[in-house]
Amino acid sequence: MSSALRQKFIDYMTLRRLSPRTQKAYTNAVAGLAAYFHKSPDKLDDDQIQAYLLHLIKERRLAWNSCNVVFSGLRCFYGELLKWEQSRFSIPPRPRQKRLPMLLSVQEVQRLIDATGNPKHRTLLMTVYGAGLRVSEVVALKPRHIESSRMMIRVEQGKGQKDRYTLLPKRLLRELRAYYALYRPDQYLFFGRAKDSPMPVNSAQKAFYLAKKRAGITQGKGIHTLRHCFATHLMDMGVDIYVIKHMMGHSAIKTTSAYLHTSRQKIANVISPLDRPIAESPGNDTF
């Protein structure tokens, strides 16, 4: 893809207010297609695009989520930027896979936190779980976002470019104060190699995997597991689903309601119809 066409695509996504992470993923999707055929993407036809998508699914065996990112990126590039009609470019509709997240119990989360030797990593994992943050949100936190007087954490420009507030647990505040005294963060709360840059997302993921390994925990695919646990454990405690929706930053209540299926306490409190007492028949006696 030429530098001019790449910049045109980036400018279009910027005007649409897509996040930098989404812009990078979509640009890589189009660049991967162009590299596969050694040809500018605007010179390809639908047969070549379909062949590339099949290559990703059948030969590279990419996970559904990874394929979905590529499909969305190509749809944005061809359908929106180049305005190709459906007869010229088409992507078959894909059925959504509904999978429940792999969760940890409250005790397992505590074991994971206790197994974290690095104070910065320990505090970061506690912040993700204690406030229900996405990994992109926790690495973007700044000291001013910790509003201790209100016991809240301000999340600026989260997913969908939305601001919101979430919990600041008392235990987390104590941990954050000890962390601040030790590391003296400047621009970013959880900084990378330099204090003026945020910790890379991959580093945060590695901190989670290392802690999970040390704790001997096999459940949970990534640091996002802690965010899932935050929502589910709150539901177990009886917190209103609309309050959880706001703290999670979900656009639709349907997204939050998925955690109803993972709440063990909610399920445990349900009485099966098999266990309901059966009323005795009044019989045929007459007055």
Domain boundaries, the chain: 3-81, 106-268
pLDDT at residue 112, as a whole number: 95
pLDDT at residue 237, as a whole number: 84
**Residue 68 contacts residue 54 (beta carbons within 8 Å):** no
Neighbours of 25 (CB within 10 A): 16
Structure token pair of residue 159? 């997913």
> What length is written for the chain?
287
Strands (E), 133-186: 146-147, 152-155, 164-167
pLDDT at residue 138, as a whole number: 95
Own/partner pairs, 281-286, CB within 8 angstroms, 24+ separation: none
Kindly tell me the burial class for residue 199, based on how many C-beta atoms sit within 10 Å of its own C-beta (0-12, 13-18, 19 or more): buried
Smallest CA-to-CA distance from 175 within 126, 219, 140 is with 126
Hey, which residues are catalytic here?
A: 134, 159, 224, 227, 250, 259
Q: What type of residue is 109?
A: V
pLDDT at residue 269, as a whole number: 59
Q: Note the CATH number of domain 3-81.
A: 1.10.150.130
**Residue 208 contacts residue 223 (beta carbons within 8 Å):** yes
According to DSSP, residue 22 is labeled: H
Would you tell me which CATH number, out of the four given (3.40.50.970, 3.30.450.80, 1.10.443.10, 3.30.1330.10), belongs to the domain 106-268?
1.10.443.10
- Cα(35)–Cα(30) distance, integer angstroms: 9
pLDDT by residue for the chain (287 residues), tens only, comes to 788 999 999 999 999 888 888 999 999 999 999 999 999 999 998 889 989 988 988 888 887 778 888 988 998 999 899 988 876 666 665 555 556 567 888 999 999 999 998 999 999 999 999 999 999 999 999 999 999 999 999 998 766 667 889 989 999 999 999 999 999 999 999 999 888 999 999 999 999 999 999 999 988 889 999 998 998 888 888 888 888 888 888 877 877 777 666 565 555 555 556 566 665 555 555 43
Using a cut of 0.85, tell me whether the model's pTM lies above it.
Answer: no
According to DSSP, residue 189 is labeled: S
